[in-house]
Structure 1
Amino acid sequence: MASTSTLKSAALLDQMKLHLASDAGKELSKKINFVYQFNISPKKIGIEEEIFTVDLKKGEVIKGACEGKPDATFSFKDEDFVKVATGKMNPQMAFMRGAMKIKGSLSAAQKFTPDIFPKPSKM
């Protein structure tokens, strides 16, 4: 299996990694202070998923499961994660439609909003 991801989400998470290194990103980490794990699947939730950890305690994004227990774990299809992260789909709607599954703390999960992502730059 290739180590590079074919997921569109991976590119967004790479941008987030850069964002968290910035001053704005550091403020965000302090404000939220949770660890999120994302299980992102190409087509169907739970199948061939790639795992990413967004650690807003340390301010980092890593590919792979987090050490210890995340505050909340989200499962998405790639395209739905992109829609939520770019603000095209409301996270509550995604959850109600089954496009997003959540395990762990709901209060932590509610702090996961499109606002935590850097605004997409024109590529």
Structure 2
Amino acid sequence: MEKSNLKSAELLEQMRIHLASGAGKEIAEKVGFVYQLNISPKRLGVDEEVFAVDLKKGVVSKGPYEGKPDATFCFTDDDFIAISSGKLNPQMAFITGKMKIKGSMSAALKFTPDIFPKASKL
């Protein structure tokens, strides 16, 4: 993936490697959705970087998903890290406006910290 200054990009790169290692097959079978992540450095919706997490094929890439993702999430870099590490409950993030969701709510509900590899030092 191309270079990014987001902490989230490091986690997504770990996820890309994790999925490519074969561990992704189990996650793909369990989740089976495509997510687009719009991540902003500081303020929601400003200077977003976009990533596609295809949990049908087990692929993570930088840039918008080609086609229609099942769900699109918008959050700041810090909030994404907090959600993916389990420090911030995804439902609370949504209710408090720290995360915006477009698309299928049933797909969005499967977007949990369990799908991320456990980071060693984030």
**Is the TM-score greater than 0.5?**
yes
Shift of 1:122: 4.2
Q: What amino acid maps onto 2:112 in structure 1?
A: T
Is 1:102 matched up with 2:101? Answer: yes
Distance 2:13 2:58 in 1: 13
> What's the secondary structure of 2:56's corresponding residue?
coil
> What's the secondary structure of 1:103's corresponding residue?
strand
Tell me which residue corresponds to 2:19: 20
> What's the secondary structure of 1:108's corresponding residue?
helix
TM-score by length of 2: 0.95
Partner deviation per Cα, 1:71-101 (whole Å, 9 max, x = no partner): 0000000000000011110100110110100
Long gaps (5+) in structure 1: none
Distance 2:119 2:3 in 1: 21
Shift of 1:26: 1.2
Shift of 1:121: 1.9
Tell me which residue corresponds to 1:92: 91
Tell me which residue corresponds to 2:64: 65
Distance 2:121 2:81 in 1: 15
Which moves more between the two structures, 22-31 or 65-74? Answer: 22-31
Tell me which residue corresponds to 2:49: 50
Tell me which residue corresponds to 2:9: 10
Q: What amino acid maps onto 1:35 in structure 2?
A: V
Percent of paired sites with the same residue:
67
Tell me which residue corresponds to 1:35: 34
Size of the aligned set, in residue pairs, is 121
Shift of 1:22: 2.5
TM-score by length of 1: 0.94
Partner deviation per Cα, 1:56-78 (whole Å, 9 max, x = no partner): 01100000000100000000000
Long gaps (5+) in structure 2: none
